[in-house]
Amino acid sequence: MNKARISPEFISKIKDAVNIIDVIGEHVVLKKSGSNHMGLCPFHNERTPSFSVSEGKQLYKCHGCGKGGDLVNFVMEMHGLSFVDAVEELAERGKVPLPKDFVRAEDGDPEAAKRREAAREKTAKAYRLNLFALKFFQKQLREAKTGPGGSAHIAEYFKKRGVGKTLADSFFVGAAPPSWDALANHFVTAKAPLPLASELGLVKPSQKGTKAGPGYFDLFRNRAMFPILDLRGKVAGFGGRGLPTPPGAPDVGGETPKYLNSSESMLFQKSKLAYGMFQAQKYVREKDEVILVEGYFDVLALHAAGFQNVVATCGTSLTEDHLALFQKFCSKVTVLFDGDRAGIAATDRAMELGLKLGVILHGASLPDGLDPDEILFDQDTGKVIPQGVERMTMILAASAPLLDTRIESARVFALKGAEERTKAVKQVAEWLAMYRDPVGRELRAEKVAQDFGISKALLQTAMGGVPAATGRAPNRGPKPIGGSAAPINAPEGRNSAPKRKAPSQKPSLKEAILIRGILRGGNFRAMIEEARAYLPEGQPLSGLADHPSVRSVLEAILERGMTPESFLDSVASSEEASPGELLAFAGEIRSLLIESVMGADAPGAPPLTEGEFRIAVQRGIHQSWARFSQELKGRLRDAELKKDEDLRSRLAQEFLDVKRRMKEFESFYDEV
């Protein structure tokens, strides 16, 4: 129907019944900021929150991508719904009855309107079927009949695994009885559409002539059942854990596979769903962390023990969609997989996926051979294990970035010998090459080179870069990883950068951080002013950078007191620079200057911390001394050629003093 057919009064009733903060808060971690709430935009990738929600005005606006609107607009955008479908969804949520004249009158193509209506009705019917099946499984568990076809053994199994009534009700667990067609017959009695139930993976058509009855058999037979809900609390599908056939019951082949999930369907895409996310989302937001485990029982056990920000994937490895889902709610993902070989392999796959997306996953180490629920509950009685909660708390508290723990393991392995060292360096280089966050990659690469006793150039080569060019051409630096990320730069030679000529390489990450900090002012400006005392005598602050364009920026702002705007204007009007050079300069520097006009980090840019800036300043000081050291070596060679002993002796002593000074910075790197 047209928007015009829905009265403003009805929309107002919906907005009175449904708070925009509650709806958006299911998808975005919102934090109070003045009169509004701020968070990361769910419609585009960003690191700095630019998504604002006004509870008073019931409006939202992203200052990064520009999307905004009211409650209805958000539901339409988030779930891909039409205006009318979004209104119906919100009316159902707020328990606001639809007006009697709420009749669809789709404009446009009548056939397309019919198809949309048919798809909507099919989806609604599919959700009802899944809910109908859930209630059937719950009833089987609740009644827990003994004898053939009964579910008493499944109820006992849940009890032994520590799942009491409260937990069972919270997660809607149930039982699929040891029967070929109990659910199928239940559908027939209720006149439910069996073909749609088959499409959802609840039943399957029987082979012709081999089965009497409804003509369909149950997919889930003799299984402990775990409903998988979407973020709105609707039943998207099921997971079932096979159990041994009880004495006297028919063998219905329900033991294998051990875990069975619903078929992929319009409702169930296991790569996008996480078991327990509906129940956990509130706690994930509060703790700013999601704990990822392997099994459904692990989720239940940890929730029962008070760890309520826990979820599991649905019989699949961690995917990009999972990480995107988690990042809408929190900034930290902790992997708590089994300590056996399969668990370690799954953890490594998760870590590598995170690296490719620029996310560092944390990992907590479980004792070898133990599941989380085995730490918390006795597997025979279901009783709580004394000190189990304290033990699990300590395990989770000891979680650490997976990349860092894996690098440390590789470093220890490298101590065994030359071959082991080679393998370790290659493996670590492969991980670093995967890592898309340039800040984290640069910081870790610096430390890896120090810890493994190799040069950054060698590490860069192992990461897929190329050695620095030689000859008269300017030093282009290592090849950027992935083609676009900031390169890990080695110090340039003294003659590598002409004074005003625009170089082909981009500013290094260190130099980008320096500019961002200077433009932010405050403590950042104070830190860089303090650096004057640590530079070689007579060296200006612009010497903290190697890139000539960055040096020009530092000199203009720090030494001449120019504003970013006036500096860009002066470059644009310069007669010394060609248009091509100006274009290159703008591409390298303008994005770093523009945030000063905005008064904050640019949308999508990671927030700058004082720790990162301090490291960038320290590196600038170190490289300044390194250049000064090279200059002294050149002057020392000239003195030797001229056989000027007095000058040679004085320069040699000065060179030794410089070397000692540089040691201070090397010890700093060891602590990073």
- CB 239, CB 173: distance < 8 Å: no
**What is the C-alpha separation between 396 and 518, in angstroms, rounded?**
38
Q: Nearest-CA neighbor of 434 among 357, 361, 511, 368?
A: 357
Q: What is the pTM of this model?
A: 0.61
Angle between helix 83-93 and helix 8-17 axes, rounded to 10 deg: 40
Report how far apart, in Å, the C-alpha atoms of 639 and of each of 12, 645, 650 are.
86, 7, 10
Task: Please report the sign of the dihedral spanned by the C-alpha atoms of residue 272, residue 277, residue 281, residue 284.
Answer: negative
- With a CB cutoff of 8 Å and minimum separation 6, the contacts of 270 are 237, 261, 264, 313, 314, 315, 316
Starting at the edge strand found earlier in the chain, the sheet holding 235-242 runs 174-176, 223-229, 235-242, 259-261
Instruction: Give the range among 404-413, 439-448, 654-663 with minimum mean pLDDT.
Output: 654-663
**What is the C-alpha separation between 542 and 642, in angstroms, rounded?**
33
Confidence at 607, pLDDT banded by 50, 70, 90: low
Report how far apart, in Å, the C-alpha atoms of 297 and of each of 220, 225, 226, 354, 373 are.
18, 11, 9, 25, 7
More confident residue, 665 or 497: 665
Confidence at 5, pLDDT banded by 50, 70, 90: low
Whether the per-residue pLDDT at 370 is higher than 70: the answer is: yes
Whether the per-residue pLDDT at 642 is higher than 50: the answer is: yes
Q: What's the burial of 489, exposed, middle or buried (CB within 10 Å: 0-12/13-18/19+)?
A: buried
**What is the C-alpha separation between 532 and 585, in angstroms, rounded?**
26
- CB 441, CB 407: distance < 8 Å: no
Report pLDDT digits (tens) over 42-83.
888 777 889 999 998 899 999 888 888 899 989 888 776 778
132 residue type, one letter: F
Q: What percent of the chain has a predicted confidence (pLDDT) above 70? A: 81
pLDDT of residue 275: 97
Report pLDDT digits (tens) over 553-603.
888 888 777 776 566 555 544 544 444 444 445 445 555 554 444 444 444
Backbone φ, ψ for residue 205 (5° rounding): -65, 140
Q: Which two tokens stand for residue 237?
A: 């599908």
- With a CB cutoff of 8 Å and minimum separation 6, the contacts of 314 are 228, 237, 239, 261, 270, 273, 274, 275
Whether the per-residue pLDDT at 451 is higher than 50: the answer is: yes
pLDDT of residue 293: 95
- CB 530, CB 621: distance < 8 Å: no
- CB 451, CB 481: distance < 8 Å: no
Q: What is the DSSP string of 452-464?
A: HT--HHHHHHHTT
**What is the C-alpha separation between 472 and 182, in angstroms, rounded?**
81
Report pLDDT digits (tens) over 246-276.
888 888 887 788 999 999 999 999 999 999 9
- CB 240, CB 226: distance < 8 Å: yes
Report pLDDT digits (tens) over 195-224.
999 999 999 998 754 444 678 999 999 999
Whether the per-residue pLDDT at 494 is higher than 70: the answer is: no
Q: What's the burial of 269, exposed, middle or buried (CB within 10 Å: 0-12/13-18/19+)?
A: middle
Whether the per-residue pLDDT at 9 is higher than 80: the answer is: yes
Domains and CATH numbers, the chain: 3-105 (3.90.580.10), 122-261 (3.90.980.10), 274-398 (3.40.1360.10), 495-671 (1.10.860)
More confident residue, 534 or 396: 396
How crowded is residue 610: how many other Cβ atoms within 10 Å of its Cβ?
13
**What is the C-alpha separation between 351 and 277, in angstroms, rounded?**
21
Q: Nearest-CA neighbor of 452 among 405, 417, 402, 415?
A: 415
**What is the C-alpha separation between 93 and 23, in angstroms, rounded?**
10
Mean pLDDT of 123-138: 95
pLDDT of residue 577: 47
Q: Which two tokens stand for residue 420?
A: 């082991």
pLDDT of residue 570: 59
- CB 613, CB 517: distance < 8 Å: yes
Q: Nearest-CA neighbor of 290 among 211, 354, 201?
A: 354
Mean pLDDT, the chain, integer: 80
**Buried-state track 378-399, b at ≥16 Cβ within 10 A, e below 16:** eeeebeebeebbeebeebbeeb
DSSP reduced 3-state for 175: strand
**What is the C-alpha separation between 671 and 218, in angstroms, rounded?**
61
Report pLDDT digits (tens) over 648-661.
777 777 767 666 66
- CB 274, CB 312: distance < 8 Å: yes
Q: What's the burial of 660, exposed, middle or buried (CB within 10 Å: 0-12/13-18/19+)?
A: exposed
**What is the C-alpha separation between 359 and 437, in angstroms, rounded?**
7
Mean pLDDT of 422-427: 94
Radius of gyration for the chain, computed over Cα atoms and rounded to the nearest angstrom: 32
**What is the C-alpha separation between 433 and 459, in angstroms, rounded?**
10
